[in-house]
Structure 1
Amino acid sequence: MFRVLWRNSIFSKLLLIFLLILIPLFSLGIVLYNWGIGAVKTQLSGTIRVSLESVLDNFDQDVQRTQALLFEMLMGDEELAMLSLFPQSTAQYSEYEKFQMIGRLKKQLLALKNSNRYISDVRIHIPLLGRTLSSSAWPENFRQQEYDAFLGHDDRSRMFYFDNRPYVVLKALNRQTDNIRPYFMIVVEFSEKELRDSLLPLLQYKNSGIFLRDSSSHFFLSAKSSDIDSTVEETLRNQKSLLDGESDIHVAGSEYQTFQVRSSSLGLEAIQYVRNSELLKTIQIYHIWIWCYSIVGILILFLFSLYAYRYIHQPLVKMVRSFSRIENGDFDVFIKHHRKDEFQYLFTQFNDMVKNLNTLIDQSYRQKLLVQNAELKQLQSQINPHFLYNSLFILNTMTRTGDYDNLEYFTIQLGEYFRFMTKSNRNEIPLSEEIRHARTYADIQSLRFGNRIKVDFDELPPDYAHISVPRLIVQPVIENAFIHGLEEMPDKGWISITFEESDDRLAIVVEDNGQSLLDQQLLGVQAMLAGEAEPVEEVGLLNIHRRLQLKFGQRGELSLSRSPHGGLKAVILIPINTTTGGTES
């Protein structure tokens, strides 16, 4: 028996298919991994080196272009030469003409700055003029400290590093007396931010970083991923001698791969470091993609999908569609299944369930629905004789005493009350109409009891006025509070009707301070609403509870508890996100 069940089990078939998938993929994966790991690692290393060389080459080309523009635009500029020889050559020019000369030079400086994204500022130091011209500011006082710092620099060098910044410096000397100080000096300052931004695209791995440094450690600029340990970069920065090309180093308890590229013209070296585990992770991901998109994987995946579709998907779809038909009220459903597996058992039980449902609906549900509607009709049609007698007595009293203002109001309210009670063409109405009827009843009772009972009736929030609810779910609760809780009180009676929103449900809370409700009575009514006791009395409250659950399911209910004021607290819970509409009878 066990052998037959195992042979016909879906689990055994799935296990067999997974074995057929895993064995060839595992074998193929080992072969591909051993064959390709060396080639892929070499390719990744080459890509990193090419990227480093590209960054240095681009920067070198930008520096060359900047030097060429300096020679072309400024070194032969006549106005700059005149300004640098101001005491001897420009005495014949007015201040306005000198101002125009400076303005044209500033435009040239600004054009030079905008020609290269790496340039932060271009400045011209003119000692005889006592001014420093800048692309980013109007002529300022002569920067003597910067001028002296670059004075001994050989301007035939391409780059000069000072104060952790890269510069290009050009000086104009008197050809007859080269040993004197230059008449003017052009200084191009490069932006650390732009250089760092050019390095950021190279950080393709976690736990990696890259930095630039010159041989004299006058310049150091780094970019790193946020998860890298700061001690790693500090260790590499202080390590003066790193092997050219690639090398493995041990830092902070981890193995790192370093890649180094030098530029002799710039006097710079670029070093990138990546944790070995991250580099290998990239290789592993690469092989996973190779496996996933290989021909063998596609073929096996297709076979597995076909098998799963036939033996799992189709039966499940058949069951879902059958449940959908039942959900839509069609109980004439029967599922056929010819294979001997778990689905055959499920479908057999499903067919039995549908048969039992049909029987229960005929014998229980429909009968219960008729009983509920009969109770509702009875509740709508009945008029409490005691209430009618008291109302007529109040009318007589008002007529006799000449209280015509209240008489008119009372007759209007009484008419509205009886019109609502005798109108039975709808089983469900908007909540606003139900609350309006309950308020009418409360106003009538307030006139009847006068100062003996105070009624506090909150306004219904407008957002809930459209909710469709069964008729007569609020007024009978208020009536129960008046009759059983407050009618015998001589004075200081109080009843409150409020609205609260909680857990996607609207709570209509009716409280009173009556003293006649015993704990035993309250427990009996609670048990009756919970279905734990047979309904002996309070049929109206039970009717409300049943109709709420019939309309909204388990989320709609009437709950009773002891009020903090001593009387009864009744809470009518109505779901506020329901889309169920009213039903016309």
Structure 2
Amino acid sequence: MKWIKKIGSMPILPKIALTFLLVLTPLFYVGLQMNESGASLVRQEIGTSLNSRVELYMDILNSDFDRVIRMMREYVNDEDLMKLSTFPEIMPDIDRTEAILRLKQKMDLMKSSSAFIENAMVFIPKMDRIVSSNANAITDLDLGMFKALSGQPDPLDYPFTFWENRVFVTIPFGLLDGAPQFLLAVEISSNEITSILKQFTPDGSAAVLASNQSVWTTFREGPLKPTKDELAQLNPMMEGPTQTISIEGIDYLIAGKKSDVLHTKLIMMVPIKVIEKPLDRYRNWTFAWFGVSVLIIIAFAFVMYRLIHRPLMRLVRSFRKIEQGRFDVSVEYPFTDEFGYLYKQLNAMVRELKRLVHEVYEQQYRARLAELRHLQSQINPHFLYNTFFILYRMARQEGNESIERLTKHLGDYFQFITRDGAEEVTLASEAAHAKTYTEIQSIRFSNRITVQIGEIPAEAGQMGVPRLILQPIIENAFEHSLEKRAKGGLLEVDFRVTESELLIRVEDSGGIDEEKVTLLQGLLNGLQDVADTSGMINVHRRLQIKYGNAAGLRLSRGELGGLKVLLVIPIQEVTPNVSIARR
């Protein structure tokens, strides 16, 4: 515990350096373990790849030589070969020549059937001739070569014959005076085998293809020169996983494969140092990285202390002032680096906080004021006493039917504005209330004013909207435009739904100029106090408080010559299926 306290009392510079070293140490350990694991994995993958190469190359040899041997066995029964090897002297010259040419074509075909064939030939003792696929199609019989290639004890079990450092596949046929009647022979191209073997052998490695009697071919990169004793040492390792062996003081990773068809074995060897050379380089880089990292950490800790700690303390002090509610904080920084950006954003944040606090306060004030204005507008004294005067005049004139209509509309009107419950109603209910209001006003103004209210789209009837947003707009049209006209007044109301908005148009024919429209729109968009403004501004503020700046009223001069008011409500903000508030 004492050493923990001692570390805690150390200055920040050694703390930073020590912290980075503690973090770096496990990373370095993990890096070394990953390097060792990678080395093991690479060795395993190289061994697997080496085994795959050996098997693939041996499969290629088995396939090619098996095809060649089967073709040679088919040619044993060739009619031309039988005639030429049995009684060539009784054949007409033309027939004998044609038979030799056909036999030459077959030798050419056999040679072209495999890239490993150097020459295909047939020895015919009766004719004392050799027919081959080389340029000289017919040559004199080489008796020494014929005897050497005919001496294979069991050509069906092991068809390969070695003569003068050359490898042949031979099939003798019949015996005549102790010698074969004819001999089919294919010379194997050691150069082609070596070339293909080179393609399968990694750089710096070695490969040996040998039989029990002799070494066919070797391909060497580096100091490897295996002897017969060393080859004998490799025989037990022909099958199974790759193993490690030491030859001339050098360790090799070896893989081998035996062919039961060809009675040969293929051995590939890769020096261990060739495999681990890239890994050693990575291991050295790991140690170098750790050493350089230590130096960088020390330098970085010092620079970080100078460049970060001091500006950070200024930020901390500024945040403490903001915590205390002081929004007059302004931090200056002479540079344009990251701390300059942080200081700039801090100042912007303080200004935004100050504005938001003021805005929240103002919105709360406006919300309370809108609620108060709404309650006050529920019963309009001017409208109320005018209605009573109408009742008075109608009663004097004994218009009983008109009184019945008026009282019915008055009942509906006061029922809607005095009910409690939800703050929202359906658009259909709001439109019905507005229509009730226009019916009352139509009785008041008789034939002076005509009201046309359009149908609500089917998909919009049950949308929820704030209460009393349409009737105050219509009331504004009557009070400020239509009631001044002696005749011919017209008020139109229609509803439209787009993909993103609900639009309600209220337009009158009262007459208004563009200057007045611009003044009214500016009043709607202004930030001044609205305590004494009209119901239209009240509706505009209520819509914006509820739905945001995308909602509200849009004013313009209509085609009828009067004011056109467009109520805009974002469709995604509208609540569907709002139930009607209880009475």
TM-score by length of 1: 0.42
TM-score by length of 2: 0.42
